[in-house]
Every structure is written in C-alpha cells, then in structure tokens.
Amino acid sequence: LLLHSLHAGLIPNARSPTCAEGSILLEYDYCTPQCEDGFTPKVDGQLIQALNCYPEMGGALFPPTYECDADPCSQPRGIAFAMSPPCGPAPTGPAFPAHNSMCIPQCEDGYVPSVANLTCTASRLSPPTFECKPMPCILANYNFTVACEEGVEFQHGDNCTPACEFGYAPTEPALTCVLGELVPSTYDCVGLPCEAPAVPNAH
C-alpha cells in the first residue's frame, strides 16, 4: 500500500483529495489528478492523465507531483453587432485568451460596447459577456452647428427638432439619430417672410 503525500494544500488549485482514487493506492494503481474548475493537471506544461504507483520505486508516485494550470478563456458568443472576433487583445499584459489576460470588446461601426474590457481568470470571463449598443448622437461632435430644442445628446432612433433664432425657420422638420449620425446631418435657418401691415384706407 502507498499512502501518497499529494496534499491539496501543497498543490495550488488542486481538489481534495488530489487523486480521484483517494489517499491510499495499491501497487501498480494509478492516481487521476484532480484540479478545481478552470484548471487542468499538467507536468512541465504537458497534460497528464495519471500518476502511477510503482513498488520498485519504493512506493513512490511517478511522476511525483503535478501542477494545476489555469485554463484559457473562450471568446464570448452570440453578441449582436459584434465584430469577429468579438474580443480583441489588450495593448499590455498576457495575450488573450490566456489566464490573467484582458480583452477589448469590438463592435461594428455605429455601435459601442457596454463595457470597456473583459478579464480572463481560469477560463472565466468577467464580466462574462457584453453588448454592442447603438451609438448616441452628441451635438458637440458637430461643433454645435446643429441646435436641437430637446437638448445636446440623443439616443438611436430619437428625433431632434431643429432650432433657429427668432425670425428664422429650419429647412428640415426633424433630424433623426441613426447609429451615432444625424439624418439629415444638418439644416439651414431661412428668414421668415414679412406680412404686409393691415392699414385702413391704404391702397
């Protein structure tokens, strides 16, 4: 019999017991290494399925131990209006999808991601996904050549009522925000005609 010494506390991220078969192994038995979710048993970076108990080695396991390596993450899926791939590499740190890496959400033109980044920790993304939301229309992007009665920022699908100075009228009844762009993009303010005064006995 071998009372093996692979204690979970000595192997970071290992389950207890470290061998699926338990703490006591018979001669020529094998130990199926166990890791926490999001980790994979490896020896020197290579996947290992089992450690063997050889009596001719003095009842020691071979190989004598293993590591629990963190698993990489998968790309988030099913995100409407996301680019392919939906998550791009961060400028610094480990390369995505490695453990402890970060990815930058990527959306199609006219859409913005709901979060700035996602972090990979042992096969899990945090947050687990993101949305690609329609871009708003911001009048500052037009150098305030457009003025709207409702304000200075509009969500996709909202209408802007063009505003003109007193005595002028807009050439467009409304501008619609479509994926970050006003449609039409501008308007003119034209002078209102003057009405002739009503004067009694005038020709």
Looking up residue 48, the CATH number of its domain turns out to be 2.10.70
**Residue 26 reports pLDDT greater than 60:** yes
Does residue 150 form part of some domain? yes
Q: Tell me, what CATH number does 178's domain have?
A: 2.10.70.10
pLDDT band at 140 (very low <50, low <70, confident <90, very high): confident
Looking at residue 8, its pLDDT comes to 55
Does residue 76 form part of some domain? no
Name the residue range of residue 34's domain: 2-70
Does residue 200 form part of some domain? no
Instruction: Identify each DSSP E strand in 4-158 by its residue range.
Output: 14-19, 24-25, 30-31, 33-35, 39-43, 46-47, 51-54, 60-62, 67-70, 82-89, 102-107, 111-113, 118-121, 124-126, 132-134, 137-138, 153-154
**Residue 116 reports pLDDT greater than 60:** yes
Pairing relation of β-strands 30-31 and 39-43?
unpaired
Q: What is the rounded distance in angstroms from the CA atom of residue 195 to the CA atom of residue 126?
A: 66
Does residue 34 form part of some domain? yes
pLDDT band at 54 (very low <50, low <70, confident <90, very high): confident
**Residue 2 reports pLDDT greater than 60:** no
- Write down which residue in 133, 153, 174 finishes a domain: 133
Helix, strand, or coil (residue 95): coil
Looking at residue 6, its pLDDT comes to 64
> By the 8 A CB rule, do 170 and 189 touch?
yes
Helix, strand, or coil (residue 200): coil
Of residues 203 and 34, the one with the higher pLDDT is 34
Helix, strand, or coil (residue 11): coil
Does residue 203 form part of some domain? no
Number of domains composing the chain: 3
- Write down which residue in 18, 45, 70 finishes a domain: 70
**Residue 201 reports pLDDT greater than 80:** no
Out of 26-30, 80-84, 123-127, 149-153, pick the least confident.
26-30
- Write down which residue in 19, 50, 70 finishes a domain: 70
**Residue 5 reports pLDDT greater than 90:** no
Q: What is the rounded distance in angstroms from the CA atom of residue 88 to the CA atom of residue 198?
A: 71
Average pLDDT rounded to a whole number, residues 85-93: 90
Report the residue count for the chain: 203
Q: Structure pTM?
A: 0.73
Q: Mean pLDDT highest for which of 57-61, 105-109, 199-203?
A: 105-109
